[in-house]
Amino acid sequence: MKEEKKTQDQPELVEELVEIIGINFREAGKIYYFAPGKFTLSQGERVIVDTARGVEIGTVKIPNKKVPTSEIVPPLKAIIRPATAEDLERNEKNHELEMDAALICKKKIAAHKLEMSLVAVEYTFDRAKLIFYFTCESRVDFRELVKDLASTFHTRIELRQIGIRDEAKMMGGLGICGRKYCCSGFLTDFVQVSIKMAKEQNFSLNSSKVSGACGRLMCCLRYEHETYEEAIKVTPPSGSTVKTPDGVGTVTETRPLAGEVRVKLNDNDKDAPKLYKCRDVKVIRVGKRSEPDDTDDDVVED
């Protein structure tokens, strides 16, 4: 009789936890992890932190919390301090200076005859760097502009080109739904959107119907995409031959989310198509689902 080998239970590896706070630097901006140090902070508090750009003022989005070490990129920088009344006053003054800097920069862009459009201006909290965000359709040699701006503001100057989606996120506004742009309201990252999503949701492919203010496909097309995909799997596509309680017919219209199809009965061409629940029809022959061409895909890039 063969002896059974005894297997010892392997102890489960417990991942080490580290305490963090999550901070962002603009509304709907990305959340970055910092070490809270000795501070216990609440959501919405303003804090002063040291970043790759310099000293910045941010807002606590995730209060003190422990997360697995796999979720962080060590070493975490510690926050310097909670923002004081003087810090908040300095931040407001920075915003005023940014508005003045934007007016000056626009004049200098015109003076240098550069084909670029200024979108936003940001000072770091310590005013060690002044960042100008712009858009342009082609490459621009702005070296002379940088020198001119540096001699005017006497600080480090950075010109950063952004895309049209980033421009919409920074500028903000109201969408066709009447609500604030998703990108400037709550989306911390742009999601991938394709024309296939619009087709599956039976949207008109008129660009004015499916495009946002930035001219690209609306981010909200993504929200119900997974639900539509699951519903489409159990919905007979148009052109399918199905058996209904009233006889055999052909599917002329589908309503995936409602779980319904319109069927034209073959034995009575004069009557209008009738509406049936998908559960009440039996598929005899599946029609071919229309697949969008790869060239139709409009994928969002970060």
In 3D space, the residue among 93, 120, 92, 124 whose CA is nearest the CA of residue 106 turns out to be: 120
Distinct helix (H) and strand (E) counts, the chain: 7, 13
Q: How far apart are CA 91 and CA 49, in angstroms?
A: 13
pLDDT at 182 over 70: yes
Query: Can you tell me whether residue 284 is helix, strand or coil?
Result: strand
The mean pLDDT value of the chain amounts to: 85
Helix axes 85-111, 143-153, angle to 10 degrees: 140
In 3D space, the residue among 109, 113, 130, 112 whose CA is nearest the CA of residue 121 turns out to be: 130
Token duo for residue 6:
């005894």
pLDDT at 296 over 50: no
Look at 222 and 269; give whichever has higher pLDDT: 222
In 3D space, the residue among 287, 285, 250, 292 whose CA is nearest the CA of residue 267 turns out to be: 250
Residues 6+ apart with CB under 8 A from 121: 98, 99, 101, 102, 105, 130, 131, 132, 133
What's the whole-model pTM score? 0.75
DSSP states of 71-106: GS-SSPPBEEEE--HHHHHHHHHHHHHHHHHHHHHH
Span 7-12, average pLDDT: 56
Q: What is the pLDDT of residues 205-215, one digit of tens each?
A: 888 888 888 88
For 196, how many CA atoms within 13 A lie in the half-sphere containing its CB? Answer: 17
Domains observed in the chain: 17-83 (no CATH), 89-162 (3.30.300.20), 169-225 (no CATH), 236-285 (2.30.30.30)
Using pLDDT thresholds of 50, 70 and 90, give the confidence band for residue 149: very high
pLDDT at 142 over 70: yes
Find out whether 146 and 132 touch, Cβ atoms under 8 Å: no
Residues 6+ apart with CB under 8 A from 127: 94, 97, 155
In 3D space, the residue among 195, 189, 127, 122 whose CA is nearest the CA of residue 156 turns out to be: 127
Q: How far apart are CA 231 and CA 237, in angstroms?
A: 11
The pLDDT, as a whole number, for residue 117 is 93
Span 268-275, average pLDDT: 77
Distance of CA 237 to the CA centre of its chain: 31
Using pLDDT thresholds of 50, 70 and 90, give the confidence band for residue 13: low
The pLDDT, as a whole number, for residue 295 is 41
Look at 172 and 103; give whichever has higher pLDDT: 103
In 3D space, the residue among 80, 90, 102 whose CA is nearest the CA of residue 127 turns out to be: 90
Look at 153 and 177; give whichever has higher pLDDT: 153
Span 83-101, average pLDDT: 95
Span 128-153, average pLDDT: 91
The pLDDT, as a whole number, for residue 11 is 57
pLDDT at 293 over 50: no
Token duo for residue 286:
């599946």
Q: What is the pLDDT of residues 151-171, one digit of tens each?
A: 999 999 999 999 999 999 888
Could you tell me what percent of the chain has a pLDDT over 70?
89
Measured CA to CA in angstroms, residue 38 lies from 35, 43, 44, 51, 171 at distances of 9, 16, 18, 19, 37
Q: What is the pLDDT of residues 197-206, one digit of tens each?
A: 888 887 878 8
